[in-house]
Amino acid sequence: MAPDVTLDDIAAAVHDGCTLAIPVDYAGVAMALTAPLIRRAPRNLHLVCVPTGGMQADLLIGAGLVGTVETSAVSLGEAGGAPCFNRAVRAGSIRLRESTCPAVHAGLLAAQKGVPFVPMRGLIGSDVAANRPDWRVIQNPFADSADPIVAIPAIHPDVAIFHAPLADRDGNVWIGRRRELAAMAYASRRTFVTVETIIAESLFEDETVAAGVLPALYVEAVVQVPNGARPYGLWGKYPPQTDTVIRYARAARTPEGFEAYLADYLAGRCP
């Protein structure tokens, strides 16, 4: 594990044009990295939401950092739609690569396995497939009759970021049942993790947690940031602050409201 890495160091690893993978809101969003990223201001990011995006994605879009979004949805859950995402799609200021949840996971799986694509069924004839020219309909080579399948190309993020409850001093990270986080790390060139706690003992020495550990081999750096997922929750640690997300959603309904919220957010006056 890289020593003495800070949130600003991680933000600096996200360069212009970077393909950045972030997780769904219940799986450990590294919200503590959002403000450092916005201050760093890399441009034309290709944001891969695994498999959906929320407040972090909306903030990055509203701040003008994102050129492309690859996702099956961007939503604030109980707070409604994601205002900056919706405005950007209507205005055509971002490129939307609409996907499905299984297709996002298939693309990451292909990258993990080192193959150019993974085949899927269930997409042929859909509007989603019709708007993804990079998805190719091919013939099943093992079928004796016509059997079309869709080839989903590999998704290779440059950087993946997420938040987890626990890591050890060797850089191993406990992700429990959140296997989408492992998929992100396996597929990405670099993975950075914020965690609640770092312990001295190896996580692999404890049989009760070892099966849910992401090995340090796939993690470039870990930074301890208590409450680093807030206002989202973190499994086994704290619940989401839904009222905070609702306040954001109301403020971001207009560009002016978003700019005022963003100024407060960057100044540390918002959760």
Q: In this structure, are 193 and 130 located in the same domain?
A: no
Q: In this structure, are 30 and 60 located in the same domain?
A: yes
Q: In this structure, are 162 and 193 located in the same domain?
A: yes
CATH at residue 32: 3.40.1080.10
Residue 43 lies in a domain: yes
User: Domain limits at 218?
Assistant: 7-99+155-241
> How many angstroms separate the CA atoms of 66 and 61, rounded?
5
Q: In this structure, are 72 and 177 located in the same domain?
A: yes
Q: In this structure, are 72 and 20 located in the same domain?
A: yes
> How many angstroms separate the CA atoms of 271 and 165, rounded?
19
Residue 137 lies in a domain: yes
> How many angstroms separate the CA atoms of 88 and 92, rounded?
6
Q: In this structure, are 91 and 202 located in the same domain?
A: yes
Residue 106 lies in a domain: no
Number of structural domains the chain divides into: 2
Nearest to 38 by CA among 264, 251, 249: 264
Query: In DSSP terms, which residues pair with 222 in a beta bridge?
Result: 193
Q: In this structure, are 143 and 159 located in the same domain?
A: no
Residue 248 lies in a domain: no
Per-residue pLDDT of the chain (271 residues; tens, 9 = 90+): 566 899 999 999 999 999 999 999 999 999 999 999 999 999 999 999 999 999 999 999 999 999 999 999 999 999 999 999 999 999 999 999 999 999 999 999 999 999 999 999 989 999 999 999 999 999 999 999 999 999 999 999 999 999 999 999 999 999 999 999 999 999 999 999 999 999 999 999 999 999 999 999 999 999 999 999 999 999 999 999 999 999 999 999 999 999 999 999 999 987 6
Q: In this structure, are 160 and 34 located in the same domain?
A: yes
Q: In this structure, are 31 and 148 located in the same domain?
A: no
pTM of the model: 0.96
Please report the beta strands in 58-189, taking only residues with DSSP state E, as ranges in sequence order.
66-71, 95-98, 117-120, 136-139, 148-153, 159-168, 173-174
